């Protein structure tokens, strides 16, 4: 059973929006996978929450290598950390 050429463009038109949707979901996923870190400034000894892992030597991660999924979780850890005097 052969598929006529007239039926093919209709199928291709259904696939294009589906493919575009998968591409958009793929691009949006890394943006929603943000991690938060509880860090301490080594000079001032003040703690804060950063949305990305620190790279410098003046700011260190208080919770070892722990990354928190939400800002709320990170702030809860900040208030519980003994190194942070809030």
Q: Domain locations in the chain?
A: 37-80
Residue 80 and residue 3: Cα distance in Å, rounded? Answer: 66
> What is the 3 state secondary structure string of 10-34?
HHHHHHHHHHHHHHHHHHHHHHHCC
Q: Which of 34, 61, 57, 68 is nearest to 47 (CA)?
A: 61
pLDDT per residue over 63-77, tens digit each? 788 899 999 999 999
As given in the structure block, the two tokens for residue 73 are 């979780």
Confidence at residue 48, expressed as pLDDT on a 0 to 100 scale: 93
Q: What is the model's pTM?
A: 0.59
Residue 60 and residue 65: Cα distance in Å, rounded? Answer: 10
pLDDT per residue over 8-40, tens digit each? 556 556 776 666 666 656 555 555 578 999 999
């Amino acid at each position: 059973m052969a598929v006529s050429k007239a039926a093919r463009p209709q199928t291709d038109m259904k696939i294009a929006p589906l493919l575009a949707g998968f591409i958009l979901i793929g691009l949006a996923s890394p943006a929603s996978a943000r991690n938060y870190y509880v860090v301490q400034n080594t000079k001032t000894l003040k703690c804060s929450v950063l949305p990305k892992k620190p790279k410098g030597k003046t700011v260190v991660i208080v919770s070892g290598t722990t990354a928190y999924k939400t800002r709320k979780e990170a702030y809860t850890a900040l208030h519980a950390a003994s190194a942070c005097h809030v």
